Structure 1
């Protein structure tokens, strides 16, 4: 079935990803005649973002029609692309995912994609995403599903294994790694190209090159890193020196997967700063929609690191678009990781869909480090898909972040009760 020019954004009331999508639709171009349908359960937030979309698209003469609805099934009718940015009570529950394990003696970094927090993000989010998938299978089975919500690897693995939906996860983590590398190299980011392979938030940079010449920049990185400020991204640099490749994407994200990850910092996410920033951003949007403030010039330019619109354009217009990083079902894209796993590798998007680009096998030791987390993710997905507390305990006891069986059981009981309204079998 050919993809249509109807794009549905689920969780459109969240400002950050939504504004980035608007920016990229304007800056990328080629979407005149398309329809963007915004969906959210929060009517106030939905109306705010719909008002911004109409104002921005009109100012840019983008030719994109905007719809807004709280009825997800109605929105999916005729969709060619479904983008998911939804999260369940994100900061309130995430705070508990971080605080409860700390109370029981677990040293961890973020509590979002790995460790106990990653497990409970998976348990509560998987049923919601499976609801989306079942509706897509019924209403718009040819649509490309693009997931922006965490935990990316686990959601894509569950969808790929248990549904017929064409799933792709997108993350800007590869560009965070480029930022860290470029601080050491002293080279502007646009002049550096890097390709990675591995897991979401834990890829190994396989190729690091000067974009214009193709020159390998790894020798220069090794030279400059040795003399760089030792307090700068210490965990990534320890792994770099030990395994020979730079890991993505940042110490706090990568650290979620490692028993010693807390050595890169264990302060957790800045929830208060995030909420303050979101309120300020909402105020700016309201002022722009009311036309008491002009549209910021940046909103007519590409966003930083997001690639959903480029994927959509590549498929819609058969552009054979290279995307630096996408989360896909492995099936051999990384030969020395399990086929039954979601991995992050470069992809190409065209009218036939999304195609992983294999960079070959990872160095053996690097692959073995990822294998620890592969097993955790596989069992966590089974726990979420089956709504099983027994499997959830197994996932915790497999996780290298867990240092005590008693702590694992106490964390499981406490966080299970907090998340019980959202946990249910998906199949």
Structure 2
């Protein structure tokens, strides 16, 4: 593989993902001479991110060539890596995903990756991403497709069912779990290594170790957790007590997969704060672009927890780069889960590709808990790939978050209608 490449970022108007990617790209010297092509259907958002990329590229002396495109097919020509962070009418439909089930008596947490919300995120998002990946397959079939869109496990599983493109999902959830663990341990995150296996947002830490010495920190965690504030991430801690391992990545995400997940909080995503934050971030970006505001210090160094650039560097320079966590098709990496399921495990990236790291068999109770969700995800993906209302109802009825057949039918009627423009067969 050549030492320069073309990186195409689809959904580059996404300010949050875009900024994290820029932090990693423009604080690295390893991709100098490569091309970054930013793609978005929103010309205003695209122009803002391109202008910011230009400022940070020059500030970091990173040496990338920056291009923009609104036509993804033209952009994909010659790509070595394709990153994707897309969503369909994100906040409006996500609010419905959360509010409609509650109206019909379903208690749930986020409505994004599990439960009825997870189903409808899959039904509307997977067809769009399948279209993108089929363009990749036709135009740059050797490229690595890196998915950053939720629901990660279902998208990677769906892509494996209908395309031959190499696909990888990336999520910073394992680092969020490390943050929670370190609050209890009273240790800085940089001093702690964590290893995990399972499903996205439902990964179990098989090891927690002191980075400098390799010391097992699980005994210390168990001891200090006893005296820690009981209001701190209570659902995760109840699972820790019951199953013996810490689960990623937070109460609201883990709770999406469990009938009692609402016990960790059922307030949903904070849309108002998210929208306020986006306004503030865009204002700051505009100030950095026109020079009226200084570049924040944290914009000029590596991001917290995003690993796409590390994957690209490892593959481009054959560095055998260790990646703490990624979503790939199982193929036996997590024994006891279906081979075709998308699992989240550590990886090594080099010129030969992305190689999952097997951490051995998970405890039986953990495996059985994961197996429940495995079936739900498989059924939801099948419903999305076939655009099938009948399979969507079955996916709801096997989901442990659903506790009423009447509620399932009512939710399906209402949310299917809201998502109808985006649901279509892919097979």
TM normalised by structure 2 equals 0.99
Number of aligned residue pairs: 427
**Structure 1 residue aligned with 2:346:** 346
Match of 1:373 in 2: 373
Residue 2 of structure 1: CA displacement? Answer: 6.7
Is residue 2:74 matched to residue 1:87? Answer: no
SS of the equivalent of 2:22 reads helix
SS in 1 for 2:306: coil
> Is 1:235 matched up with 2:235?
yes
1:14 matched to which residue of 2? Answer: 14
- Label 1:165 to 1:3 Cα distance change in 2 as closer, same or farther (>3 A): farther
Question: Structure 2: 5+ residue runs without aligned partners?
Answer: none
Q: Residue 340 of structure 1: CA displacement? A: 1.5
Show the counterpart of 1:143: 143
Tell me, which stretches of 5 or more residues in structure 1 are unaligned?
A: none
Alignment of 1:98-177 (within 5 A): 98-177=98-177
- Could you tell me how far 1:60 is from its partner in structure 2? 1.4
Aligned counterparts of 1:6 and 1:314: Cα–Cα separation in 2? 15
- Report 1:44-83 matches (<5 A): 44-83=44-83
> Quick check: 1:28–1:310 contact (8 Å CA) kept in 2?
no
Kept in 1, the 8 Å contact 2:4–2:31? The answer is no
Tell me if structure 1 keeps the 8 A contact 2:29–2:63: no
Alpha-carbon shift at residue 3 of structure 1 (Å): 8.7
Aligned position for 1:263: 263
Q: Which residue of 2 aligns with 1:23?
A: 23
1:202 aligns with 2:202: yes
Alpha-carbon spacing, 1:144–1:3, altered in 2? closer, same or farther (3 Å): farther
Distance 1:2 1:106 in 2: 52
Deviation of 1:4 after TM superposition, in Å, equals: 5.7
Partner residue, 1:35: 35
Q: Distance in 1 between matches of 2:195 and 2:335?
A: 16
Trace 1:274-293 onto structure 2 (pairs within 5 A): 274-293=274-293
Q: Distance in 2 between matches of 1:250 and 1:81?
A: 30
Shift of 1:162: 1.7
CA contact (8 A) 2:13 2:40 kept: yes
| Rounded Cα–Cα distance in structure 1 between residues aligned with 2:215 and 2:174 | 19
Instruction: Report deviation, 1:161.
Output: 2.1
Distance in 1 between residues matched to 2:54 and 2:137, nearest whole Å: 30
* In 1: Cα distance, 2:15 partner to 2:229 partner: 36
Q: Which residue of the partner structure matches residue 187 of structure 2?
A: 187
Question: In structure 2, how many angstroms separate the alpha carbons of the residues matched to 1:237 and 1:61?
Answer: 45
Determine the structure 1 residue equivalent to 2:301: 301
- Give the deviation of 1:227 after TM superposition: 1.2
SS class of match (1:421): helix
Could you say what secondary structure the match of 1:110 adopts? coil
CA deviations on 1:276-319 (whole Å, 9 max, x unpaired) are: 00011001101111111121121110101000000011111111
Q: CA deviation at 1:27?
A: 2.0
Q: Name the CA distance, whole Å, in 2 between partners of 1:420 and 1:213.
A: 55
Deviations 1:295-350 (A, max 9, x none): 11211101010000000111111110000000000000001111120000000000
**What is the CA–CA distance in structure 1 between the aligned matches of 2:85 and 2:233, rounded to whole Å?**
28
C-alpha separation in 2, matches of 1:319 and 1:82: 20
Task: Please state whether the residue corresponding to 1:381 is helix, strand or coil.
Answer: helix
Distance apart, 1:424 and its partner CA:
0.2
- Conserved? CA contact 1:85–1:147, under 8 Å: yes
SS in 1 for 2:37: strand
The answer to whether the aligner puts 1:331 opposite 2:319 as a matched pair is: no
Change beyond 3 A, Cα 1:4–1:129: farther
Q: Is the 1:9–1:83 Cα contact (8 Å) retained in structure 2? A: yes
SS of the equivalent of 2:193 reads strand
Runs (4+) of structure 1 exceeding 4 A deviation are: 1-4
Could you tell me how far apart the structure 1 residues matched to 2:9 and 2:361 are?
35
Q: What SS class does the counterpart of residue 230 from structure 1 fall into?
A: coil
User: Secondary structure, in 3 states, of the residue corresponding to 1:420?
Assistant: helix
Aligned to 2:221: 221
Q: Quick check: 1:421 aligned with 2:421?
A: yes
Distance (Å, rounded) in 2 between the aligned partners of 1:311 and 1:262: 35
